[in-house]
Amino acid sequence: MLVDPDVLSSYEHDWTGRFSGRSSCVVRPADTAQVAAVVRACAAVGTPLVTQGGNTGLVGGGVPSGGEVVLSLRRLTDLGEVDRAAGQLSAGAGVTLADLQRHVRAAGVEFGVDLAARDSATVGGMAATNAGGIRVLRYGSMRAQVLGAEAVLADGSVVSRMGGLTKDGTGYDLVQLLIGSEGTLGVVTALRLKVVPLLRSSCVALLALESTQAAVDLLPVLRERLPQLAAAELFYELGVSLVRRHAGLPAPFDAHVPAYLLLECLDRSDPSEALLDLVGEAQGLLDARVATDAASVRALWAYREAHTEAINAEGVPVKLDVSVPTATLPGLVEQLPEVVAAVSPAARTVLFGHVNEGNLHVNVLDAGEEHDAVTEAVLQAVASRGGSISSEHGVGRAKPAWLHLSRSQTELAAMRAVKGALDPQGILNPGVIFA
Ligand code: 2HG
Ligand code: ZN
């Protein structure tokens, strides 16, 4: 248990610098039984708790808002052997994604979710937020990797479903209910996770395209002709200029590029021929760079993966994470800078994302006092296209006021009923998902 104010500070501030709050203390239990004891003690006196993993969340869901106990799960780092017959393994909630990746690769397999915050993000937090990342088009989001979980409920009781049954038709799926619940329904302490084949041969192509529409038009072709496709990431000149300034990188192409599309193929044997064939035929292609050796692959990925850090280095952004039906993405990309400028003329709107899922990260710098006005304007534009106000980062403390744009009154009432049934005192992550 930590109470020294200097030590508490890193647990009280989120990664973006936007969310912070005092905690009464930080507790760092070492196993599920200790987590349960902490939750029982808090429940007995009605003290609220905020569960925290690697503190890489982007919507303020893992930091206190005022006086809560921070329940850090970073010491829950058990990693089981890969069960080869089942293609599964067990992992403690505090295992980082990078440690999980090293562990499963040593056993000759791979984990299906990957994201830029891999060195700090924990699998518990990734499950709690149903994290997505760069491989969703191939393997689905975190939800699709989870076959079981162990969790402490709000009264301190423990639910354990770690048997790893891939088929189980015995009523409500409590494990999947916890995935994406952002710590509001229970504290996930361990997970039973699926593994996927380890594909060591990579080929990355960075395409300079004449428009976002050209990127979207390429998607059906990629899906039909490139089963090796493992990532399709979209970004733009403004983001690249920030990445270059922050990371000191050269310009990827000589000329101005209206839309960048990074494609990665992964396979057992070199996938470059298939990718190059397709790139050669792509409509709207202005230029392309291709990499197959590890260092060049990393160098091309850096233009995409360094976006979040480069943006943060410029100031605290209005950070939005939306998805729309993919066909409507080009229209949204075109409209958003105007939508933002109408409420905050000096703002810079940085757009990037995971194009296959219609998932756009909207980071608005220099919005000044217009934080909520920018959020409102962008999320209304998204909702009018039938989109989601949070694609893969969660609702957290940042978005409850806009949840009604993506969820009907009937859905919200059902969600509140679930919350009330599992956490009647409202001690688990209060203020997260629901204001
Ligand atoms: C990514 O895709 C993450 O890199 C972070 O989801 C996005 O910083 C962001 O807005
Ligand atoms: Zn993302």
Q: Tens-digit pLDDT profile for the chain (435 aa)? A: 999 999 999 999 998 889 999 999 999 999 999 999 999 999 999 999 999 999 999 999 999 999 999 999 999 999 999 999 999 999 999 999 999 999 999 999 999 999 999 999 999 999 999 999 999 999 999 999 999 999 999 999 999 999 999 999 999 999 999 999 999 999 999 999 999 999 999 999 999 999 999 999 999 999 999 999 999 999 999 999 999 999 999 999 999 999 999 999 999 999 999 999 999 999 999 999 999 999 999 999 999 999 999 999 999 999 999 999 999 999 999 999 999 999 999 999 999 999 999 999 999 999 999 999 999 999 999 999 999 999 999 999 999 999 999 999 999 999 999 999 999 999 999 999 999
User: How far is C-alpha 286 from the chain's CA centre?
Assistant: 31
List phi, psi (to 5°) of 207. -100, 135
Which pair of structure tokens corresponds to residue 422?
């599992």
Q: For position 17, what pLDDT does the model report?
A: 87
Please tell me the distance from the alpha carbon of residue 321 to that of residue 136, in angstroms, as a whole number.
Answer: 15
Site to substitute for ligand 1 among 352, 356, 359, 360, most atoms within 8 A of C-beta = 352
Give 187 Cα–ligand 1 centroid separation in angstroms.
24
Give 393 Cα–ligand 2 centroid separation in angstroms.
8
Give 38 Cα–ligand 2 centroid separation in angstroms.
33
Atom of ligand 1 nearest to the CA of 393: 6
- Strands (DSSP E) contained in 165-213 are 187-194, 196-197, 201-209
- The pTM for the full model equals 0.97
288-293: long-range pairs with CB below 8 Å, 24+? 288/205, 288/206, 288/207, 288/208, 289/205, 289/206, 289/252, 289/253, 290/203, 290/204, 290/205, 290/206, 291/203, 291/204, 291/205, 291/206, 292/201, 292/202, 292/203, 292/204
Give 58 Cα–ligand 1 centroid separation in angstroms.
8
Ligand 1 within 6 A of CB of 363: yes
Site to substitute for ligand 1 among 130, 357, 393, most atoms within 8 A of C-beta = 393
Ligand 1 within 6 A of CB of 323: no
Please tell me the distance from the alpha carbon of residue 381 to that of residue 387, in angstroms, as a whole number.
Answer: 9
